[in-house]
Amino acid sequence: MDIDVGGETLVARLVQHGLVCDVADLYKLTAGELLQLKCMGEKSAQNFLSTLEASKSHDLWRILHGLRIPHVGAGEAQALAGGFKDIDELIHASFDQLNAIHDVADVSAQSVVEWFGDSHNRELIKRLRKAGLNFQSSLHQARKG
C-alpha cells in the first residue's frame, strides 16, 4: 500500500496487540490506540496516521501491488491498472481478459482470478473501499485518454 512509516516491526506490534488483523484494519486505527504501543510517541502516531491518510489516494496499481496477490509484482500491477479503469472492472475480468494484457503472464492472470474469486478477499476490498481508498487507475486514463 506504499505505507513507509513504521515498517514490519510496527506491523508486528499492531498484530501482537490485537489492533490489526489485515491491511484494512490499519485504516481504522486511532492515535489513542497507537499511543498504547511502547514504540509510539505522539509525533510518530500522527506521522503514521498521516501516511495512512495519504495512501488512500494512491493509484490502483499501488493498491494492487500492496495486496500481495501471488505472482503480481509492481510491473504486473501497473500493467493490470493500465488495462482496467478501476478495481470493479478488474474484479469481474476473466482469465482471457487479464491474459490479453501485455506484461501479464498466464500464472498472474490465473492468480488474479483466484484472488478476487475468494470471498475473504472481496470482503477485504469492500472494507478498503469503505475506508476511502482510491480504486481508480490513472494509468488506464493515460493510455486510453
- pLDDT tens, residue by residue, 106-116: 999 999 999 99
Q: What is 7-55's CATH topology?
A: DNA polymerase; domain 1 (1.10.150)
| pLDDT of 75 | 95
Low-confidence ranges of the chain (pLDDT < 50): 145
User: Do residues 33 and 27 touch, judged by C-beta distance below 8 A?
Assistant: no
pLDDT at site 1: 59
pLDDT for position 145: 47
From residue 104, give the alpha-carbon distance in Å to each of 65, 80, 97, 98: 13, 7, 10, 7
Which CATH superfamily hosts domain 60-144? 5' to 3' exonuclease, C-terminal subdomain (1.10.150.20)
Entry pTM:
0.88
